[in-house]
Amino acid sequence: MKSNLILASASPRRSKILEGMGLSFEVVVPDVDEVHWDDDPEGTVVTNAKRKCDCVLEQHPNDIIIAADTIVAFGGRCLGKPGSLDEAREMLRMFSGKTQTVYSGIAIAAPQKDREIFLDKSCVHFCEISEDVIATYHTLVNPLDRAGGYDIDSHSELIVSGYDGSFTNIMGLPKEIIEKWMVGNRCK
């Protein structure tokens, strides 16, 4: 029996990453309660990725499941998606001229294999961001469905001066980890 590939996420950016890798997959959105621990970004993303993976695995035990969770760590806090445009503006004001860390937890399950857990970390360096730039950026990018309230893959030249680590991790799913897992498990 051939296993299908399932992305356990509603994120359009995660779908875009897998599509860019040439993978065929189905999206199944997990229904889970996520944790949020300000003092433990790594534990937060790993726990949420496991929960998402396990939820979808229960419904699809014969398929390959990829689940992920991404969070921004900044100033001793974990920042998820902003709840409002005002909160998104405040996030960009906080990031102005500073560096933040983006953590992603990834859980991959496959038939007859133990679920594997991965953690990736990237740093994003921000320009000095004026109020005019924030206003312009928010006319171009919807910040409300993105951890940290910005999209590294869309108009980031307005707000980001550089980054260290995986670009796709900052988007929400480090393709390098997915590729390595696929090759190691002879799925590609």
- Direct distance between the N- and C-terminal alpha carbons of the chain, in angstroms, rounded to an integer: 17
Active site residues: 69
DSSP secondary structure letter of residue 186: T
User: What are the DSSP E strand ranges found in the chain?
Assistant: 5-8, 26-27, 64-74, 77-79, 99-109, 116-126, 160-164
The widest CA-to-CA distance across the chain, in whole angstroms, is 56
Distance from C-alpha of 57 to C-alpha of 64, rounded to nearest angstrom: 8
Strands 64-74 and 26-27 come out as unpaired
Residue where the block lists tokens 């980031």: 156
Q: Are 125 and 162 in contact (CB under 8 A)?
A: yes
Closest by Cα among 82, 81, 75 to 96: 75
